[in-house]
């Protein structure tokens, strides 16, 4: 599976400019099966008051569906603001090659350091989706820090974990450890798309097979699922789990 990471730092609140940038970069993707955008690329991270952007989800959905159908690839749509019944969610929209929305995921872990919990409502379920026959999971940014959450996704049989993010490079050291750790302990590929830069694709051994710089960039890599099967064939960690009762 060929994956392209669309990396760019959005301008806060500049909706039209951000969509133009996304359109330009998506247009530069060639021969990919899946593309992924960063967290809150539509608005930047994050404009206030959020209620002024409560209708952005519809525009985002239409944009992603059109891009996927036109280019014949699947899209992990980063994330966008979604307003539902007076609540605001940080939502990832997943679209297939036919331009159909096949899954959504609302960020479950809200970053208290940035007051996310005072503005957003936390999602309450995991999200898995099949893309071209490959089982995939979705997490958003801060979710990466919670191993039990990622393990729950892994136990569903995902092969690739996609993570849109707006992770500050001031905290890049722990993030670089965490992407590797989540990949190793769950024996999955981890695709991390970060608006601030240093996006990466990590294999099930924790090896970085592709890493970006810090500016606008399209990061591309081929993910070899046969390699994952070989890793698990040599040492099946999930099969060896001993679930203690006390």
Q: Cite the active site residues.
A: 39, 107, 141
Exposure on the CB side of residue 155, measured as CA atoms within 13 A: 10
Q: How many CA atoms lie within 13 A of 209 on its CB side?
A: 20
- Return the structure tokens found at 224: 């070899």
Strand 74-76 relative to strand 87-95, pairing: antiparallel
Structure tokens at 136: 């995939």
Asked if the peptide bond before residue 98 counts as cis, ω within 30 degrees of 0, the response is no
User: Within 10 A of 59 (CB to CB), how many other CB atoms are there?
Assistant: 15
Question: What is the greatest pairwise CA distance in the chain?
Answer: 55
Closest CA to 198 of 158, 223, 167: 167
- Residues 6 or more apart whose CB falls under 8 angstroms from that of 245 comprise none
Tell the burial category of 74 from Cβ atoms under 10 Å away from its Cβ (0-12, 13-18, 19+).
Answer: buried
């Amino acid at each position: 599976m060929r994956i392209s990471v669309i990396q760019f730092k959005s301008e806060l609140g500049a909706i039209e400019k951000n969509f133009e940038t996304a359109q330009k970069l998506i247009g530069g993707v060639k021969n990919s099966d899946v593309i992924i955008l960063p967290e809150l690329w539509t608005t930047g991270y994050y404009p206030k008051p959020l209620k002024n952007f409560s209708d952005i989800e519809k525009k985002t959905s239409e944009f992603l569906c059109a891009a996927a159908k036109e280019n014949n690839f699947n899209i992990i749509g980063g994330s966008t603001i979604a307003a539902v019944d007076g609540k605001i969610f940080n939502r990832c929209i997943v679209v297939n090659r036919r331009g159909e929305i096949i899954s959504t995921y609302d960020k479950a872990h809200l970053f208290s350091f940035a007051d996310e919990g005072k503005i957003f409502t936390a999602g309450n379920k995991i999200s898995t989706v099949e893309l071209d026959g490959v089982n995939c999971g979705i997490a958003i940014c801060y979710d990466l820090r919670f191993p039990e959450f990622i393990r729950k996704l892994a136990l569903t049989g995902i092969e690739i974990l996609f993570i849109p993010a707006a992770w500050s490079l001031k905290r890049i050291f722990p993030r670089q450890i965490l992407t590797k750790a989540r990949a190793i302990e769950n024996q999955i590929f981890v695709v991390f798309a970060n608006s601030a830069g240093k996006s990466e694709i990590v294999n099930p051994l924790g090896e970085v097979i592709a890493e970006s710089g810090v500016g606008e960039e399209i990061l591309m890599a081929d993910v070899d699922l046969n390699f994952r099967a070989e890793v698990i064939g040599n040492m099946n960690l999930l099969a060896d789990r001993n679930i203690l009762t006390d």
